Amino acid sequence: MASACGQTPPAFVVRSAALDAGALAVRLEWRPDARVLEALDHGIALGFDINVQAQGRANWFGRSTLAEQTRHLQLRYFPLSRQYQLRDLDLNQARSFSARALALAALEDLHLPLADWKTVDAERYRLHIAIDHDALPGALRLPALLQPAWRMCKGDYAWFVRAG
Amino acid sequence: MVRPSRLTRFTRRVLPVLAVALLLTAALLLANDAAGDSRLGAWYPWMLGACALALVTLLVMIVQRLWRLRGELSRNVPGARLNRRVLLMLIVLALPPVLIVYAFSLNFLHATIDTWFNVRMERALGDALEIGRVYLDERLRSAQQTAAASAQQLADVADADLQARLDGFIDAQAALQLSVFGADQRVLATASSDPQFLAPLVPDSAVLLQVQGAGRYAAAEPVGARLLLRIVQPLPGAAPGAARLLQALYPLPAQMQTLTSGVEQANFDFQRLKYLRESLKLTFTLVLTFVSLLSVLFALMMAFGIARRLTAPIGRLATATRAVGAGRYDTPLPIRSDDELGFLLASFGQMQRELELSNAQLTRSAQETENQRAYLKAVLERLSAGVLGLDREGVLRTSNRAAETILDTPLSRYRGQHLTQLRREQPVLAPLLDRILLHVREGAREWREEVVLESGGERRVLMLRGTELGDSGEGSGVVAVFDDLTQLDRAQRDAAWAEVARRLAHEVKNPLTPIQLAAERLRRRFIGRLPPEETELLDRATHTIIAQVEALKAMVNAFGDYSRPPQIDARPLSLHALIGEVLDLYENDQRIQLTRRFAPGDPILRVDAGRLRQLLHNLLKNSLEAIGDARKPHIEVSTRDIVENGQNWIELAIADNGPGLPEGFGERWFEPYTTSKSKGTGLGLAVAKKIAEEHGGSIRAENRSGGGAVFVLRLRCDVSGAAMTV
C-alpha cells in the first residue's frame, strides 16, 4: 500500500511496517537526490518526521484518528571525525556511522519504541514519513519549497491491524 | 456622481495599509529566517503566502483604481485627464529610483555573499580540519595501543574479576568509560569516570561488523557535545563464539576538545554557507524583490491618492464650470484647503454667485422686455392704423395686421426684405412705398402727407405719417403709420353733397314754383290777345321757362333723393323676382335686346325693394344712355353667388355692348355731377352707389373684354336668406 505523490518520483518507499510489542519496525527505501546528499555532506542536518496514526473504522467522512505518535530523527555529518550520526531526537540516542551508506541503511531499517496502543481499538495503522522542512536552515526553505529535489514526496504506508 | 459607502471608503484606505504592513512584516521575517533565525521556520510557507496575498491585494487595488480611472476617462469625467497626467508624473518620479536601488541592492547583495567564500580562507579551514583529523588519528592510534594493552591484560581475567580490573584501569588510562561485553553484548563489567557515562554504550551491528572484519573498531565519535575516541576490540584468547569485547571511550584533552570543536564548527559553518550560497541569494533576492515591489506598489497607491487629492478640486472646478456653461449656478464647491486651489475655488464660488445674480437680473430684464414687446405687439395688432417698421436701409422689419388689411398684402412674407422687393411684386402700392423710401433716403425725421392708391378702378386715400426712430444702433430706423381715409373722405364728400342738395332745395326749389306760376299766368293772360307773331313768341318763351323749371325741379328732387338720410325698410325678398319685375318694364323696348342669365336657385335678400328697384333702374338707364345709337344694342343682366373671406355675396352684373367706360373712369364717377353724357342729372350712378352702400354692398364698373362696360352690384347675402330659395 505504498503511495507516491504526483509526478515526482517517490523519495520514500515504505516496504513494510509493523507495530509489535510497543515498537515500530519499518523497512523502507530512501532514494535521495544528489543535492540532498550534498547538503548532508556540507553539514546540514536532515530531520525526519515519522508519524504513526491508529485509525478507526471508515465512515462517510473517512477514518477517524484514534491515536497518534510522531518520532523525530536527525541525520547529520561531522566532518572532523568523518562520522554520520543518526539521532533519535525524542530519546536522545545516537548511532554513528563511518560511511554514509551505513547511515542510510540504518535509516532504512528503523526500530522505534512507541507508546503502547493495546487499549486503542484501531482497525488500521497509517505511517507517514517525510523530511522536516521546518528543521532546514532558513536559506534552504525556499528551495525546499520550489525545487523538486527538496519537494520530495512523503512516504505513506497503511496496514490493517490483523493483517499487519 | 455616486458617493462610495463608508465601508468601501474604509476598505480603500485601510486595505492598502494592511497589505503593505503584512508584506513588510512577512518580508522582514523571511529575511530574518534566511539569516538564520529559525524560530518561525514552521511559518515559512505562510509568510510566503502572506507576501503573495499582500502583493495580489495591492495589485488588485491598483488595477481597480486603473480601471476606475479608465472609466472616468471614457466618460470624460472632469479632472480625469489631469488625474492621469499627475499620476504618470508621479510614477515617472517614483519608479526609476526604486528600480535603480533594487538593481544596485541586488548586485551588492550577490557580490557580498560571494565575498564570503574566499578561496584562501576555505583552504585554511580545510587545512585546519585536516590538522584536526591528523591529531585525531594520532590520538586514535595512541588509544588503540592503550586499549590493546588493556585487552592483553584482561585476556586471562575471569568475568568476576573484570570489574575490579577495569576500576583499576579507568584512572590509570584516563579513560571515560571501560566496558567488557560478553556474548550477545552482555555487559560483563563497566567502569566510568564521568557520571554521564555510567551506562555502557552498546556496540551495534555496524561496530561488530567492523570488529569482525578489521579486528578492532576505532573511531572518533561525537557523543552529545563532545568528541570521544571509541575503541572496541576483542579480548585475546577467547574462543570465537564466546569472544569478549573491550570497549574503551577516551576523551580528548579539554583544550583540544575546544580547539577541534572550533575547527569543526568553523569548517561546518563555511561548508554550510557555501552550499547555501545560491539559496541565500535566491532568498534575499526574493525578499528584496518583495520589498521593492512593496515600494513600487505602495508608491503607485500613494500616487493614485496624491493625484486624486490634487486633481479633485480641479475636477470639481471643471464640473462647476460646465454647469455654469449650461446655465446652472448651484454646483457646490467645498473648500478644503487654504492654499491657492482653495483660493481659486473660493473665487470661482463668488463668481458663480455673482453670475447667478446677474443671470437672474438678465432673466427678469428679458422677461420685462418680452412682456413689453408682447404688449407693443398687441397694441400694434389692435391699431386701426397700419404700421410699417423699417431700418435705415429701407428693409422691412415689422408690420401690423392693420397694414396688411389696408394694403391687402401679406406683409409678413416681406419681413427682412427691402421695400423695393415689395414694390416690385405689388406695384399697386408704389405710390405709398415710393414716398416712404424717399423719406428714408432723405433721412427725414418726420413727415405727413396724403397718398392715393388706385387699383381696379378703386381709389383709396391714405394719410401717411413717418417718424425716425433713434439716431443709431439696433433700434434705429423709421416707422411709417398710415390710415385709410377713403371712407372718411367719401363721408365728407357725401356730407358736402348733402349740404349742396339741401341748399339747392332751399335756395333753388323755392323760387321755381313762383317762376312757373308766373310763366303760366303770362300765357293765360297774353296768349290770344297779342298779335300772332307775338303770341307765338310768348308761347315758346313761356313753354321754355315752364320746361326748364320742371327740369330744375327734377334735378332738385334728384338731389333731394341723394341727400335724403337713409331710411331703409329692409325685408326678405327674392332678388331674381325683383330683377324680373324691373326688367319686364324694359322687355318691350324695341331698341334693345335684353338677356337674363341668373345663377341657379333664388337667393333671398333682406333689402328695401323700392330703393333696390330704383338702383336697378338707374343702372339700366345708365346702360341705355351709354349704348346710345349702337347698331345692335344688347344688355345682359346676370347674377352669381360668390364667397369671399367667409362671407356670401350676390353679384348682379348689368353689361352692355356700348363704347365702354370713358378714359380715367374711377371712383369719382360715382359722385354727383360726374357724367360723360350730354343729358342727365349726373346723379344716377351716385344714387346707385348710395343705395348699394345703404344695403352694406358696393358697386363697381369695369370694361368688358369684348367691348362695352359692366356695372357690378355686390350685396351681402345672409346665410339664412341664402337658404331661403324659392
Interface test with A, best of B44, B137, B196 (most A CBs within 10 A): B44
Distances (CA, A) of B106 to B9, B35, B93, B444, B607: 37, 16, 21, 98, 124
Residues B216 and B282 in one domain: no
B575 and B662, same structural domain? yes
| Residue B368 falls inside a structural domain | no
| Cell numbers standing for residue B77 | 469625467
Kindly state whether residues B505 and B606 are assigned to the same domain: no
CA distances from A157 to A1, A18, B438 (A): 6, 10, 125
On the question of pLDDT at B358 being above 80, the answer is yes
Handedness of CA B33, B36, B37, B38 (dihedral sign): positive
Cβ under 8 Å to A: B residues 128-157 = 129, 132-133, 136
Q: Does A112 touch chain B (CB under 8 A)?
A: no
Chain B residues with CB under 8 Å of A81 CB are 136, 219-222, 227, 264
How many folded domains does chain B comprise? Answer: 5
Quick check: is B346 in a domain?
no
pLDDT of the residue at B120:
83
Which of these three, B505, B528, B563, is where a domain ends? B563
User: What are the distances in angstroms from CA B598 to CA B464, B579, B615, B657, B701?
Assistant: 43, 10, 18, 19, 19
Q: Nearest by CB to B275, from A42, A83, A85: name it.
A: A42
- Residues near B58 by beta carbon (within 8 Å), at least 6 away in sequence: B16, B19, B20, B23, B294, B297, B298, B301
Contact A139 B283 (CB under 8 A): yes
Report whether B206 contacts B125 (CB < 8 A). no
Same domain, B576 and B676: yes
pLDDT in tens, B453-480: 877 656 788 889 999 887 666 667 889 9
CATH number at residue B446: 3.30.450.20
Q: What is the pLDDT of residue B239?
A: 58
Helix (H, G, I), strand (E, B) or coil at B702: strand
Q: Inter-chain contact A137–B38, Cβ cutoff 8 Å? A: yes
> With an 8 Å Cβ cutoff, are A98 and B274 in contact?
no
Residue with more model confidence, B161 or B240: B161
Q: In this structure, what are the phi and psi dihedrals at residue B600, rounded to the nearest 5 degrees?
A: -60, 150
Distances (CA, A) of B342 to B302, B330, B333: 22, 18, 10
The chain A residue lying nearest B30, using CA atoms, is A138
- Contacts of residue B188, defined as CB under 8 A and 6 or more positions apart, other chains included, come to B159, B162, B180, B181, B182, B244
The amino acid occupying position A17 is: A
DSSP B672: T
What residue of B is the nearest CA neighbor of A145? Answer: B45
> Is residue A7 in some structural domain?
no
User: Are residues A17 and A159 in contact, defined by beta-carbon separation less than 8 angstroms?
Assistant: yes
Mean pLDDT of B439-464: 82
Could you tell me if B577 and B697 lie in one domain? yes
Q: CA A29, CA A10: separation in Å to the nearest integer?
A: 10
**Residues B548, B591: one domain?**
no
Candidate from B206, B271, B276 with C-beta closest to A139? B276
Q: How far apart are CA B445 and CA B466, in angstroms?
A: 8
Name the phi and psi angles at A3, rounded to 5. -130, 155
Q: Which of B292, B308, B323 represents a domain boundary (last residue)?
A: B323
CA atoms within 13 A on the CB side of B300: 18
Question: What is the extent of the structural domain holding B718?
Answer: 571-723
Q: B267 to chain A: which residues are within 8 Å by CB?
A: 43, 79-80
How many beta-carbon pairs below 8 A join chains A and B?
106
As a whole number, the mean pLDDT across chain B is 82
Q: Which element (helix H / strand E) includes B581?
A: helix B575-587
Min Cα distance B270 → chain A (Å) is: 9
Residue of B245, B195, B262, B250 whose CA lies nearest to B221: B250
A82 touches chain B (CB under 8 A): yes
Are A138 and B34 an interchain contact pair (Cβ–Cβ within 8 Å)? yes
Q: Cβ contact (<8 Å) for B204 and A143?
A: no
Q: Which residue of B has its CA nearest to A132?
A: B42
- Of the candidates B661, B710, B714, B725, the residue with the CA atom closest to the CA atom of residue B689: B714
With beta carbons under 8 A apart, name residues in chain B contacting A137.
Answer: 36, 38, 272, 276
pLDDT at B654: 93
Residues of A in Cβ contact (< 8 Å) with B276: 44, 137, 139-140
Å from B295 to nearest chain A CA?
22
Kindly determine whether residue A137 and residue B204, on different chains, have CB atoms separated by under 8 Å.
no
Alpha carbon of A103: minimum distance to chain B alpha carbons (Å): 10
On whether both B180 and B217 belong to a single domain, the answer is yes
Please tell me the predicted confidence (pLDDT) of residue A72: 93
Residue B624 lies in a domain: yes
Looking at chain A, list the stretches that DSSP marks H as alpha helix, in order from N- to C-terminal side. Answer: 34-41, 100-108, 138-146
For an interface test with B, the pick among A42, A75, A80, A146 (most B C-beta atoms closer than 10 Å) comes out as A80
Q: Does B264 touch chain A (CB under 8 A)?
A: yes
Q: Which residue has the higher pLDDT, A143 or B110?
A: B110
Q: Do B581 and B715 sit in the same domain of this protein?
A: yes
pLDDT score recorded for residue A152:
65
- Predicted local confidence at residue B457, as pLDDT: 58
Chain A: give the shortest CA distance to residue B102, in Å. 20
B-chain residues near A85 (CB < 8 A):
221-222
pLDDT of residue A77: 92
Q: Which residue has the cell 486633481?
A: B311
Q: How far is B268 from chain A (nearest CA, A)?
A: 6
Q: Is B206 within 8 Å of chain A by CB?
A: yes
Task: Give the pLDDT confidence of B167-186 residue by residue, as tens digits.
Answer: 888 888 888 899 999 877 78
Supply the ipTM of this predicted assembly.
0.79
The CA angle A46-A70-A5, to the nearest 5 degrees, is: 65
Shortest alpha-carbon distance between residue A26 and chain B (Å): 17
Contact call for B206 and A140, based on CB within 8 A: no
Does A1 map to a domain? no
Q: Using pLDDT thresholds of 50, 70 and 90, give the confidence band for residue B241.
A: low
Beta carbons of A120 and A111 less than 8 angstroms apart: no
Backbone angles phi, psi at A65, to 5 degrees: -90, 120
Beta bridge partners of B469: B477
B315, B185: one domain: no
**Packing angle, helices B80-115 and B254-325, rounded to 10:** 170
- A89 at the B interface (CB within 8 A)? no
> Do residues A50 and A138 make contact, with C-beta atoms less than 8 angstroms apart?
no
Q: pTM for this one?
A: 0.53
Is A83–B274 a contact, with Cβ atoms under 8 angstroms apart? no
The span from the CA of A114 to the CA of A53, in Å, is 11
Helix ranges (H only) for B472-530 are 486-503, 510-526
Using only C-alpha atoms, what is the Rg of chain A?
16
pLDDT at residue B638, as a whole number: 93
Q: In B, residues 221-250, which contact A (CB 8 Å cutoff)?
A: 221-223, 227
Helices B532-563 and B486-503, axial angle in degrees (round to 10): 140
Ranges under pLDDT 50 in chain A: 1-6, 163-164
- Provide the domain count of chain A: 1
* Region for B478 from its dihedrals, namely left if φ exceeds 0, alpha if ψ lies in -120 to 50, beta otherwise: beta
Per-state percent for chain B, helix, strand, coil, to nearest 5: 60, 15, 20
pLDDT value at residue B119:
79
Whole-angstrom distance, CA of residue A80 vs CA of residue B626: 165
Tell me if A95 and B286 make a contact (CB, 8 A cut-off): no
Q: For residue B344, what is its C-alpha cell?
A: 481659486
Do B69 and B200 fall within a single domain? no
Q: Quick one: which of B360, B342, B347 has its CA closest to B321? A: B347
Q: Which residue has the cell 313761356?
A: B542
Instruction: Identify the pLDDT of residue A3.
Output: 41
pLDDT at B154: 86
Is residue B270 assigned to a domain? Answer: no
Could you tell me how many residues make up chain A?
164
Domain co-membership, B559 together with B624: no
Instruction: Look at residue A66 and tell me if it is in a domain.
Output: yes
Instruction: Report the residue from A83, A134, A142 with minimal CB separation from B279.
Output: A142
Helix orientation angle between B119-154 and B254-325, rounded to the nearest 10 degrees: 140
CA distance, residue B271 to nearest chain A CA (Å):
5
Please tell me which residue of chain B has the smallest CA distance to A98.
Answer: B219
Phi, psi dihedrals of residue B450, rounded to the nearest 5°: -105, 135
What is the extent of the structural domain holding A72? 12-160
8 A C-beta contact, residue A133 and residue A62:
no
Q: Which of B37, B274, B283 sits opposite A142 (nearest CB)?
A: B283
Residue ending a domain, among B464, B484, B504, is B484
Q: What pLDDT score does B79 carry?
A: 77
Q: Is residue A90 part of a domain?
A: yes
Task: Establish if B371 belongs to a structural domain.
Answer: no
